[in-house]
Structure 1
Amino acid sequence: MDPVTIEFNPESLIALNVMIAIMMFGVSLELRTSDFKRIFLNPKAPMIGMFCQFLLLPAVTCLVTIIMNIDPMLSLGMILVASCPGGTFSNIMTWMAKGNVAVSVSMTGVSSIAASVMTPFNFALYAYLNPNTRPLLTEISMDPVGLLLLVLLVLGVPLLLGMFAGPRFPNLSKKIESPLKIFAMILMMALAGIAFAKNTKQFLEYFDLFFWLVVAHNAIAITIGYLGAMAAKLPIADRRAIALEVGIQNGALALVIIFTFFPQASGMLLIAAFWGVWHLVSGLVLSFIWSRMPIKDGSAQLSEVNTAKI
């Protein structure tokens, strides 16, 4: 795939990172230490979700890119997306789908903190394990320490600040909740639009390829989450929460990482940008379908826990 370099001046990159950090701060205002205590008291569902999120999905993604001999740049994009934590819309989609919101919220908080280490680690590991993408790690000069610091600054620090501020300023989250959701949607679409605008030629030339790659990859992610929860014999509400949490990735984070470290990697941009659009479509459609399907195993009541958080 022919590379197209996307130039962002330092001020633009800082602004993008600040916007992501603000979005994470807003999301974490409703997180409480009780959400993390819940994992210790009833760890099965969140831990199964984390296993699917940070272990199964990146490993399966790497294996698929090797077996299908996917273009190296597109493969890197898929591996990066698979290494990112759950997206900010997974909680409300879980609520719409009559899933267990408590599990979803717990996974969002823990995965956002864990991503500070796991996202750079998984991306570097699986990009190296794929023999087709391994040479690109040298060509694109990935800075693992810089990547670690970036993810920590735009995810970990804002999340901790939000959790600190939330209980002390209870009215703050109520005032900014709706604006932040709109802001998050606009930001995601803007980042995707920039990626497509700067790669119009590649977008038109490879549309039939990366479109199906993203659709299939997203379906794989959702399936991994659901089947993993099913294998662990979790209730249906937990399965829905985990499936959506694994399938709704933080595409905005992936795009910021690409803009910052890999601006010449047009294939990565196309994958991450279209994923950011497609997972909203697939997640909303799946949530609507599940909302029409009654839960008969008694787990529906779990989805009512902490619905105020979304």
Structure 2
Amino acid sequence: MEAVTIDFNPESLIALNIMIAIMMFGVSLELRSDDFKRIMREPKAPLIGLFLQFALLPSVTCLVTYLLEIEPMLALGMMLVASCPGGTFSNVMTWLAKGNVAVSVSMTGVSSVAASVMTPFNFALFGYLNPYTRPLLTEISMDSLSLLLLVLFVLGVPLALGMVVGPKFLNLSRVIEKPLKIFAMLLMMALAGVAFIKNTDQFVQYFDLFFWLVVAHNGSALTLGYWGAKLSKLPEADCRAISLEVGIQNSALALVIIFTFFPQASGMLLIAAFWGVWHLVSGSALSFYWSYKSKMNAEADLSVKAGS
């Protein structure tokens, strides 16, 4: 795949990282220590979800990209997305889907903290394990320490600050929640737009390839999350929450990493950018389907009770 370098001056990259950090700060305002203590009290669902998110999804992604001999640049993009934590809209989608919001919030909090280490580690590990992507990973000279520091800056620090500020200013999260959600969506669309505009030729040339890769990859993530939880004998509400946590990835973080460290990796950009758009479509559709299904089941139960 032809590489097209996207040039960002240092000031633009700093501004971009600050915007992502602000978005994470807003998300973390509603996180409490109880969200983490809940895992200690009822660890099964969140721990299964985190295993599926940080171990199974990257492993399966690495194996499938190797077996299908996916073009290395595209394969690296898939592995980077699979290494990211849950996205900022997973909690809302879980609520819409009548899933267990407590499990979703717990997973979001823990995965965002864990991602400070796990995202750089998984990306480096699985990128190296795939023999097709290993030479490319070496060629683009990834600085593991700088990548770790970037993820800490845009995830770890704002998450910690939000958890400190949130309880002290209880109305703050309520006031800025809606604007921040709009900001997050607009930022995601802007990042995706920049990636597509700067790679128009690749977008047209490889659309039929990366489109189906992202659709299949995202569908696999949602399926792994749901059936991994289902086979672990978790309740339906927990299965829905875990499915959306695993399938809604923080692709904005993936794009920031690519813009910062791999601006010449156009294939990675296309995968991460299209994932950021597609997972909103697939996650919303699945949430509304589950919501409709719950409504129909509730009405059926009422009919049965009325007839008995």
Partner-residue secondary structure (3-state), 2:12: helix
Structure 1: unaligned runs, 5 residues or longer: 299-310
Q: Note if 1:100 corresponds to 2:100.
A: yes
CA distance in 2, matches of 1:295, 1:192: 35
User: Post-superposition shift, 1:295?
Assistant: 8.3
Match of 1:166 in 2: 166
Match of 2:35 in 1: 35
User: Post-superposition shift, 1:137?
Assistant: 1.4
Match of 1:226 in 2: 226
Q: Note if 1:278 corresponds to 2:278.
A: yes
1:100-249 alignment runs, 5 A limit: 100-249=100-249
Q: Judging changes above 3 Å, is the alpha-carbon distance between structure 1 residues 226 and 296 closer, same or farther for their aligned structure 2 residues?
A: farther
1:253-268 alignment runs, 5 A limit: 253-268=253-268
Structure 2: unaligned runs, 5 residues or longer: 299-308
RMSD (CA atoms): 1.2
Q: Judging changes above 3 Å, is the alpha-carbon distance between structure 1 residues 46 and 297 closer, same or farther for their aligned structure 2 residues?
A: farther
User: Post-superposition shift, 1:296?
Assistant: 11
Amino acid paired to 2:283: G
Match of 2:16 in 1: 16
The size of the alignment, in residue pairs, is 298
Amino acid paired to 2:34: S
User: Post-superposition shift, 1:183?
Assistant: 0.1
Q: Deviations for 1:65-100, whole angstroms, at most 9, x for unmatched residues?
A: 001000000000000000000000000000000000
Match of 1:303 in 2: none
Amino acid paired to 2:51: F
User: Post-superposition shift, 1:294?
Assistant: 2.1
Moved runs in structure 1, 4+ residues, more than 4 A?
295-298
1:66-77 alignment runs, 5 A limit: 66-77=66-77
Amino acid paired to 1:247: G
Partner-residue secondary structure (3-state), 2:293: coil
CA distance in 2, matches of 1:29, 1:227: 31
User: Post-superposition shift, 1:293?
Assistant: 1.1
User: What is the identity percentage for the equivalent residue pairs of Structure 1 and Structure 2?
Assistant: 78
Partner-residue secondary structure (3-state), 1:281: helix
User: Post-superposition shift, 1:160?
Assistant: 0.5
Amino acid paired to 1:73: M
